Amino acid sequence: MPSSTMSEPSLDSTDPSFATAAEKLPPAKLPRQLSDAEYDLFHAIGRQRTVAPGETIFRKGELGRSMFVIESGEIHLEFGDGLPHKLIGPREFVGELALFIGDHMRVASAIATTHTSLRVIDHVAFEQVLARQPLLLAQFMRRSFAYLVASEQQLIAYLRRRNEDLLSTLHSLRQTQHQLSNANTLIRTDELTGLANRRGLYQYLEGLDDRHKDGCLALFLVDLDRFKRINDQCGHLVGDRVLCIVADELRANASDGDLCCRLGGDEFALLMRLPHREELDARAARIVGTMRGHRLPEPNHTLSLSVSVGASVCDTAANWSAWYSDADRALYAAKSEGGDGWHLSAL
């Protein structure tokens, strides 16, 4: 856009949206092109200036005190801030607000793209000729202001479209973030039971130092008794239902900050925080007891459900493998005793 308004970079004289404003203007080849009388007047009162290709005529942000009329050559107006640039050529003008209202901050940088000849009209010369040619300059100012209004309207439409594009992009980014978050949750979650899977377990273990400072950390390994027989006699759908029952019971026994995990098949793990070691036995007994009381719907209502539990207190100086080994030995002992019970590792 020219130095007189921020809206000019988006204005195109061939754009249909400009037609209404343009129809009200005095005859001229282009909305920003001077009539013969205007050009002759400004040529007569202006000071000539020649600029080389690449030379800066004025910079964005500096105070403007003159209007420029192009005799020959071409000027590139750069507005920045993502606004489109503009090229102006012979018999066109830029910077008129500096004459209309005095010092005016340039909103674009003007750079010559070719050898360019200009006429520079300052405020004093403009005021003098305004007294001699008021009608001609009134028509010029009227057309300039009409152009500025049309430019502002088009700039508003441009910024509105850009804002809509930005909002659409932001919405897409939020959707993508949500999808990535969901995907991250899915890869850490067992599809059948909704518990954490091994990936979720490993991620949980990475934050244990921050989450478990009070009391002790205990690991419970839970294994369904005679699960293969349930699958063989009742089918895999019933087997899946039984696995979900175990998952629900583990969730019911867990507190905020604890982790329920399906390690695979019918093996589950519960990492939980206990206020003291003596509670390990009571928690294991509760898991076994609640499972013992479950019955499946008919026709499988006579099928009894039970689990074996191996529990241990985790040594914070050791790692997951050591914790698992301790609890697994206790689980093996519970299984060896016929299941439907629990065994604690040596404390």
Residue with the two structure tokens 């061939």:
14
Query: How does residue 317 score in pLDDT terms, banded at 50, 70 and 90?
Result: confident
Question: Rounded distance, CA 138 to CA 337, Å?
Answer: 107
pLDDT digits (tens, 9 = 90+) for 192-204: 999 999 999 998 9
Q: Is 102 exposed, middle or buried (0-12, 13-18, 19+ CB in 10 A)?
A: exposed
Task: Give the mean model confidence (pLDDT) for residues 209-217.
Answer: 67
- Structure confidence at residue 182 (pLDDT): 67
- Structure confidence at residue 343 (pLDDT): 93
- Evaluate if residue 23 carries a pLDDT over 70: no
| Residue type present at position 213 | K
Q: How many residues does the chain have?
A: 347
| Residue type present at position 39 | Y
Task: Give the mean model confidence (pLDDT) for residues 158-164.
Answer: 79
- Structure confidence at residue 155 (pLDDT): 73
Report CA-CA distances (Å) from 31 to 18, 98, 193: 9, 19, 71
- Evaluate if residue 6 carries a pLDDT over 70: no
- Structure confidence at residue 209 (pLDDT): 67
Q: Are the beta carbons of 136 and 42 closer than 8 angstroms?
A: no
Question: Rounded distance, CA 52 to CA 118, Å?
Answer: 11
Max avg pLDDT among 10-24, 60-74, 146-160: 60-74
Question: Rounded distance, CA 30 to CA 28, Å?
Answer: 6
Query: How does residue 186 score in pLDDT terms, banded at 50, 70 and 90?
Result: low
pLDDT digits (tens, 9 = 90+) for 223-256: 999 888 888 888 888 899 999 999 999 999 888 8
Query: How does residue 347 score in pLDDT terms, banded at 50, 70 and 90?
Result: low
CATH superfamily of the domain spanning 198-344: Reverse transcriptase/Diguanylate cyclase domain (3.30.70.270)
Give the number of C-alpha atoms closer than 13 A to the C-alpha of residue 185, restricted to the C-beta side. Answer: 8
pLDDT digits (tens, 9 = 90+) for 75-103: 999 988 777 788 999 999 988 888 887 77
Question: Rounded distance, CA 116 to CA 77, Å?
Answer: 14
Query: How does residue 325 score in pLDDT terms, banded at 50, 70 and 90?
Result: very high
Q: Which CATH number describes the domain made up of 8-160? A: 2.60.120.10
What integer best gives the mean pLDDT of the chain? 82
Task: Give the mean model confidence (pLDDT) for residues 288-296.
Answer: 83
Task: Give the mean model confidence (pLDDT) for residues 97-116.
Answer: 87
Question: Rounded distance, CA 69 to CA 245, Å?
Answer: 84
Residue by residue, what is the 3-state secondary structure of 166-208? HHHHHHHHHHHHHHHHHHHHHHCECCCCCCECHHHHHHHHHCH
Query: How does residue 110 score in pLDDT terms, banded at 50, 70 and 90?
Result: very high
- Structure confidence at residue 16 (pLDDT): 41
- Evaluate if residue 121 carries a pLDDT over 50: yes
Among the listed residues 180, 182, 188, the one whose alpha carbon sits nearest the alpha carbon of residue 207 = 188
pLDDT digits (tens, 9 = 90+) for 44-69: 999 999 999 999 999 998 888 899 99
- Structure confidence at residue 183 (pLDDT): 64
- Structure confidence at residue 181 (pLDDT): 66
Q: Is the peptide bond before 299 cis (omega within 30 degrees of 0)?
A: yes
Question: Rounded distance, CA 300 to CA 242, Å?
Answer: 11
- Structure confidence at residue 128 (pLDDT): 87
Can you give the residue ranges of every domain in the chain? 8-160, 198-344
- Structure confidence at residue 224 (pLDDT): 93
Q: Is 181 exposed, middle or buried (0-12, 13-18, 19+ CB in 10 A)?
A: exposed
Give the end-to-end CA distance of the chain in Å, rounded to a whole number.
80
Percentage of the chain exceeding pLDDT 90: 39
Give the number of C-alpha atoms closer than 13 A to the C-alpha of residue 236, restricted to the C-beta side. Answer: 2
Q: What is the pTM of this model?
A: 0.51
C-beta atoms surrounding 85 within 10 Å: 14
- Residue bearing the bigger pLDDT, 265 or 214: 265
Q: What are phi and psi of 153, to 5 degrees?
A: -60, -40
Max avg pLDDT among 119-123, 127-131, 159-163, 214-218: 119-123
